Amino acid sequence: MKRPIVTAVVGYIIGIIIGLYFKISIALFYVIIFSIFFTIKFLYKRLKKKKFSFYSISRYLRYIKLFINKKVIIFIVVFSCISNFIIISKNNFYNQIYKTPKDVDIIAKIEELVEEKEYQAKYKIKVLKLNGEEKSINFYLISKNKNHYEYGNIVSLKGEYIKPSIQRNYEGFDYSQYLKTKNIYGTIKSDNIQILESSKSLDFNKMIYDLQENIKNKSKKFLTNETYSIFLGLILGDTSNIEEEKMENFRNSNMAHILAVSGMHVSYIVIGISIFLKKILGKRKSKIICILLLIFYCFITGCSPSIIRACIMAILVLLSGLFHRKDDIWNSIAISLFIILIYNPFLITSISLQFSYMGLIGIIVFYNSILQFLKKKSDKFIKIKQIIAISLSTQIFIIPLTIYHFNTFGIYFIVTNLLLSIILGPLIIYGFLFLSLLIINFPILNSILKFSVIPLNAGINMLEALSNISKIPFSKIYVKTPSIYEIIVFYLIVIIINLIYKSQSKKKLTNSGLRLKLTYQLIKYKIKRKSKKILVIFVIITVLFWGIIIIQPSKLCIHFVDVGQGDCTFIETPGNKTILIDGGGTEFGDFDVGKNTVLPYVLDRGYTNIDYIIISHFDTDHIGRHFNNITRTTGGASNNI
């Protein structure tokens, strides 16, 4: 077994998925899998022929043995059973906490001020006692109390427990699942809070929290109001202060990834530190300092999945250099993912984790092939071609995830990535140096900070100006939600195309590559010989397939959409027409029901157009301020209302 840690992680992920989505013990799953395996093995023996046959099943089944043997199976079974047991146990524990009575009496530790508004504040608290029982679980605390509670305060409170809401609509947002990725068990509402004990100054977590707050306060003094929030997102991954309109511009221009600290940021930091310290301290000492700084940076950025992945992988690369060992990228990916999922297996559903790993895998799998294709005609503009290759290879792997989670597709990602490549590297290195000056906190440095902030403000303003590319027409195209099977088929197709291209273009091939090359050429030869027959069969199958779909009557489906206070009904007719009756809404708050509930629901049902919109009456709870958003983004026509 070449990479045992990779095999272990695959098994661990299988166990999590079975426990999370099927909510069953892995034992039943393996009964089915092994039954299929032994059936295939039986068929393999029965269908085995001495004579060569291109269509022989046995010819292709033997290639599975190149990847799956007894050791691999044992590893997958063992680690999947471990993770399956963990995820089922954790789910059962969550379900027990969800049965907590409405009225609660709690002793807790304040861990973080999550959000502060004019009339209320939201904290993350660690519960030490819940209704007299000792616990160690996290909740959100919402309080209208104007007192500001500091990190580390031990408080006593009486309040109301609010169980997190589950998925209310088809393919809708599951708040309880989201909170599980953050180890949060629900929300407590309370204004009756008393401080029992002040925070301890020697608490490591408090020191990190105080440092984060100090960085935020000091950067606010030196940066302009327009650039302060972007700086925190760019360097610390904190987007809580960025206005929703700005954040939307970054998303629509395919630039949101720069505000989530990830591998790109870490690589620039490592390059910057290496260049700065290499000549002063030498290679070995500069790598050791770089490792320590990455661990420190991981803590002050909040230890999100993407930054943990990037820091672990960077540290493994640096350690391999220190111990004179060859680094293996797949082992590094597996180790970092293993650590994250052991800490919290629910993070497998985290969007930032999925984008971080899939983007990296895309670069590993496709970068060389795309660059080779771009260099085929000429070696000119090699740097631009490298940037395009990175951008395309990343997007190939994350486009299905983007469409699945956000139902959008941007067409200007190559342009934005080309321009970002010019601005981003120097800006992140400079931003990290500016962050270092903020942390050092010497009064004498204030004058330096006043001057050094000028180019930083200019660079961030350039990023914000670049994000306005989202205002160009067709920067955001809405797409219906693909099924999991469609996503799997997409990945299989692009990977097979990439393998075929490699086998045909490379001069030196492995035995597997040579087999693939010869198989592809044989398929081409057979198709060429029987092209007319294959074309006739394809046309007949296509006509029959569409004929069955057209002839088969569709059902009338009436869906009642949960939009909170208000009514909304979505109808699919037998003639494949769509009708929306009302759309919900509210007079209070900023939540856009149309954009955040109705539009995703229509796209999840597989439609990008509403044929008819019917309004029963014009009360706000039937047709709120969001009506224009629905008609504009789904293509609803005013003459159908």
Which position has the token pair 């590297």?
A: 425
Q: In terms of pLDDT, which residue wins out, 589 or 95?
A: 95
Q: In terms of pLDDT, which residue wins out, 327 or 173?
A: 173
The one-letter amino acid code at 134 reads E
Q: In terms of pLDDT, which residue wins out, 622 or 14?
A: 14
- DSSP-based three-state secondary structure for 57: helix
The beta strands (E) that lie in 198-341 are given as none
pLDDT at 512 over 60: yes
The pLDDT of residue 639 is: 36
The mean per-residue pLDDT over the stretch 160-185 comes to 90
The mean per-residue pLDDT over the stretch 532-545 comes to 73
Which candidate, 268, 259, 337, 234, places its Cα nearest to that of 5? 337
The pLDDT of residue 164 is: 92
Check: CB of residue 408 under 8 Å from CB of residue 476.
yes
What phi, psi does 148 have (nearest 5°)?
Answer: -100, 120
Q: In terms of pLDDT, which residue wins out, 586 or 365?
A: 365
What CA–CA distances, in Å, run from 83 to 74, 344, 354, 384, 544?
A: 14, 11, 18, 44, 45
The mean per-residue pLDDT over the stretch 354-363 comes to 87
The pLDDT of residue 641 is: 35
Which candidate, 311, 299, 90, 108, places its Cα nearest to that of 192? 108
Report residue 445's pLDDT band, with 50, 70 and 90 as the boundaries. Answer: low
The pLDDT of residue 636 is: 45
Report residue 180's pLDDT band, with 50, 70 and 90 as the boundaries. Answer: very high
Which candidate, 48, 44, 16, 45, places its Cα nearest to that of 29? 16
CA angle 54, 58, 64 (to 5 degrees): 110
The pLDDT of residue 552 is: 60
Which position has the token pair 């999922």?
A: 341
What CA–CA distances, in Å, run from 370 to 21, 364, 374?
A: 36, 11, 6
Which candidate, 631, 614, 515, places its Cα nearest to that of 569? 614
Q: What one-character-per-residue DSSP string does 457-514 give?
A: HHHHHHHHHHHGGGGSTTSSEE-PPPPHHHHHHHHHHHHHHHHHHHHHH-SS--HHHH
Check: CB of residue 233 under 8 Å from CB of residue 247.
no
The pLDDT of residue 637 is: 41
The side-by-side arrangement of strands in the sheet containing 557-560 is 557-560, 569-572, 578-581, 612-614
pLDDT at 373 over 50: yes
**pLDDT one-digit tens code per residue, 55-94:** 455 555 555 665 667 788 888 888 999 999 999 999 999 9
Task: Give residue 44's region: left, alpha or beta (phi > 0; psi -120 to 50).
Answer: alpha
Report residue 587's pLDDT band, with 50, 70 and 90 as the boundaries. Answer: low
What HEC string does 503-570 produce? HHHCCCCCHHHHHHHHHHHHHHHHHHHCHHHHHHHHHHHHHHHHHHHHHCCCCCEEEECCCCCCCCEE
Overall size of the chain counted in residues: 641
Report residue 413's pLDDT band, with 50, 70 and 90 as the boundaries. Answer: confident
- Of all helices (H) and strands (E), which one includes residue 322? helix 305-322
Q: How many CA atoms lie within 13 A of 163 on its CB side?
A: 12
pTM of the model: 0.82
Start-end of H helices in 64-187: 70-98, 175-180
The pLDDT of residue 553 is: 61
- DSSP-based three-state secondary structure for 590: coil
pLDDT at 234 over 50: yes
pLDDT at 629 over 90: no
614, two tokens: 């019917």
Which candidate, 397, 427, 431, places its Cα nearest to that of 413? 397
138-142, 296-300, 518-522, 524-528: range with highest mean pLDDT: 138-142
- DSSP-based three-state secondary structure for 606: coil
The mean per-residue pLDDT over the stretch 457-485 comes to 83
**pLDDT one-digit tens code per residue, 312-327:** 888 888 888 888 778 7
Please report, in angstroms and rounded to a whole number, the separation of the first and last CA atoms in the chain. Answer: 64
Fold classification of 100-199 is OB fold (Dihydrolipoamide Acetyltransferase, E2P) (2.40.50)
22-26, 623-627, 636-640: range with highest mean pLDDT: 22-26
Beta-ladder partners of 109: 126, 154
**pLDDT one-digit tens code per residue, 182-197:** 999 999 998 888 888 8
Tell me the percentage of the chain whose pLDDT exceeds 70.
Answer: 86
pLDDT at 516 over 80: no
**pLDDT one-digit tens code per residue, 30-50:** 787 778 777 776 766 665 554
SS3 content of the chain, % helix, strand, coil (to 5): 60, 10, 25
Least confident of 62-76, 554-568, 577-591: 62-76
Check: CB of residue 57 under 8 Å from CB of residue 44.
yes
Least confident of 68-82, 147-161, 504-518: 504-518
Which position has the token pair 């092939």?
A: 369
Taking the mean position of all CA atoms in its chain, how far away is CA 196?
A: 39
Alpha-carbon span 216 to 211, nearest angstrom: 9
Per the prediction, the chain carries an average pLDDT of: 80
Alpha-carbon span 601 to 401, nearest angstrom: 17
Beta-ladder partners of 129: 107, 134
Query: In the chain, what are the domain boundaries?
Result: 4-95, 100-199, 350-409+478-494, 495-542, 557-640
The pLDDT of residue 342 is: 92
Check: CB of residue 251 under 8 Å from CB of residue 273.
no
pLDDT at 436 over 50: yes
